[in-house]
């Protein structure tokens, strides 16, 4: 018997480390994010402490991918909902690009 998942959502900010097609569902891609910050969404179980500083997989539809101009090193922020033990789904209207990859890369080189 599978364990029942508790519904949860988290507001995150993270750096894109990879973008790949999601073969299981047409029109979606799988984005790997290194979570820098996670915040609680009111009324929902918070799991942000468990993902801060770790890489997670987030399903994002192709329209949002194009809107955010997703590529590695971009920093993005928005709300995610857990859909499987190791998989999250982006809540579409909450996402924004915080910084572009080139600037992020330049910052990391200067440090």
Task: Write out pLDDT tens, residues 32-90.
Answer: 999 999 887 776 666 667 889 999 999 999 999 999 999 999 999 999 998 888 899 99
Amino acid 3: pLDDT: 58
Fold of 9-110: OB fold (Dihydrolipoamide Acetyltransferase, E2P) (2.40.50)
d(CA 27, CA 21): 9
**Structural domain spans, the chain:** 9-110
Give me the phi and psi of 69, to 5 degrees please. Answer: 50, 50
Amino acid 48: pLDDT: 66
Strands 87-90 and 55-61: parallel
* Distance (Å) of CA 62 to CA 58, 88, 109: 12, 16, 31
Are 51 and 13 in contact by the 8 Å Cβ rule? The answer is: no
Are 37 and 10 in contact by the 8 Å Cβ rule? The answer is: no
């Amino acid at each position: 018997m599978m364990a029942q998942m508790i519904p949860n959502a988290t507001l995150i900010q993270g750096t894109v480390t990879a973008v790949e097609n999601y073969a299981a569902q047409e029109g979606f891609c799988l984005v790997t994010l290194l979570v820098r910050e996670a915040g609680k969404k009111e009324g929902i179980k918070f799991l942000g402490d468990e993902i801060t500083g770790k890489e997670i997989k987030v399903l994002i539809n192709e329209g949002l991918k194009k809107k955010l101009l997703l590529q590695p090193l971009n920093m993005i922020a928005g709300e995610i909902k857990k859909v499987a033990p190791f998989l999250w789904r982006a809540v579409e209207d909450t996402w924004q690009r915080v910084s572009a990859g080139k600037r992020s890369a330049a910052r990391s080189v200067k440090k």
